[in-house]
Structure 1
């Protein structure tokens, strides 16, 4: 009844099934590993966001880098803003509006840390510089989230050249530090609070989002593994259907022969 499985068409279908099963399994496993990694990252970020603020120098250092376990920790730093070396960061939207981040060095006792003071909208035209509220004068104490230096790989944002003076695309502390008269901390601070407060000031950047923790990756992994069952079930259904059709065809042939014999 199932000798048709040895035909070229069914051999090809069977070989395709044999290839698809491990492929779907490993695709599901890959998505599940991404789910585990993103869930762990979300848990770490959530814990960091809830932690009490600590002095910047406890988690970062001049010329260093911010390890992932310290990202999104709240830190404090005291110093004076250096508006002469202030920068605006292109391609940063907020609440669906295009604009810029305002990054100003905060000079401390041992160097400086870049502070993202907030967001401002784009100017009237592409060539018009944005209106940026001035940084406060005098000593200030900032509290904010410590973030690692940005790169194309970490942000997915392509760096651009030939920008107007004072404009950048990435908050890359190493590159920015090359044009400063002092050394920078490895990360930068996204401002959450400042004493004394400044009025007017750029629009505050919302608290970093933790995201879904990789739940979409979990759904994808289950989807790939479900495809394994669908592929196997589909193969058996097609095989049984063809076997039934062949049996019915054979029965019809036998019935016709018997009818012809009786009629003859």
Structure 2
């Protein structure tokens, strides 16, 4: 004979309530960690190109590494143009190949490279920036693809690298460059090369914690299901034994 085993009503209800509480807490904590992951990515990927400009010194110093969270931020500078300008090849504007005109602007004891505009062909006269000026430009990080310069002796570079440009000026350079919002006479406004995008590893710890909490919630539900199945399984009684002869 077999008879079903069932836990008491209070025990059954208590197990259900405990399971629901644990699953609810795990789900809520997982959601909180997931939202934190999303917030980290959104903060890193925010587009700062339209915010109010701030002085360059408020964002970084001449000896500071490039501040990645401020990529694309408009900054204000005031200084004097230096000799040592150059062109950067293979820069597009509205689908057309062309060149950037880049000149160093001395700001205090250092200089910052400024993209003054775009031209379809390099012209020496367009690099003749002289005198003092004040301008607003978007903060950009130097290029790092290590493209080869086929002719190191000319004024055309394959990309903007501080290590290359420092040889053309007598002062230190910022580890950043600016794209001027207003192009110089004879040039067209250059397009921004880079805006922030989140790294694949941004906030990954929060994402892993979210998965851990959800797995814990699923495990709690599984434990309840296993306990309920075992608690209500038929109980096999002793079989009738043959009488002793």
Normalising by structure 1, we get a TM-score of 0.53
Distance in 1 (alpha carbons) for counterparts of 2:182 and 2:74: 10
- The Cα offsets for residues 106-148 of structure 1, whole Å up to 9 and x where unpaired, read as 11222111000011113xxxxxx54652544321101010111
1:120 corresponds to 2:119 = yes
Please name the residue that 2:186 is paired with.
201
Please name the residue that 1:104 is paired with.
103
Please name the residue that 1:69 is paired with.
69
Which is bigger in relative contact order (C-alpha 8 A, separation at least 6)?
A: 2
1:141 corresponds to 2:131 = no
Distance in 2 (alpha carbons) for counterparts of 1:205 and 1:179: 22
Distance in 1 (alpha carbons) for counterparts of 2:196 and 2:79: 33
Please name the residue that 2:35 is paired with.
none
What SS does the corresponding residue of 2:165 show, helix, strand or coil? Answer: helix
| Contact 1:121 1:130 survives alignment (8 Å) | no
1:178 corresponds to 2:167 = yes
Please name the residue that 2:156 is paired with.
167
Unaligned runs of at least 5 residues, structure 1:
1-35, 123-128, 215-264
Unaligned runs of at least 5 residues, structure 2:
1-37, 200-245
Q: Would you tell me which structure has more strand in proportion to its own residues?
A: 2
Report the RMSD for the aligned CA atoms in angstroms: 3.1
Instruction: Give 1:193 shift.
Output: 3.2
Count of aligned positions? 163
| Contact 1:79 1:141 survives alignment (8 Å) | yes
Instruction: Give 1:159 shift.
Output: 2.9
Q: 1:72 to 1:180 in 2, by over 3 A?
A: same
Q: Would you tell me which structure has more helix in proportion to its own residues?
A: 1
Q: Which has the larger radius of gyration?
A: 2
| Contact 2:71 2:195 survives alignment (8 Å) | no
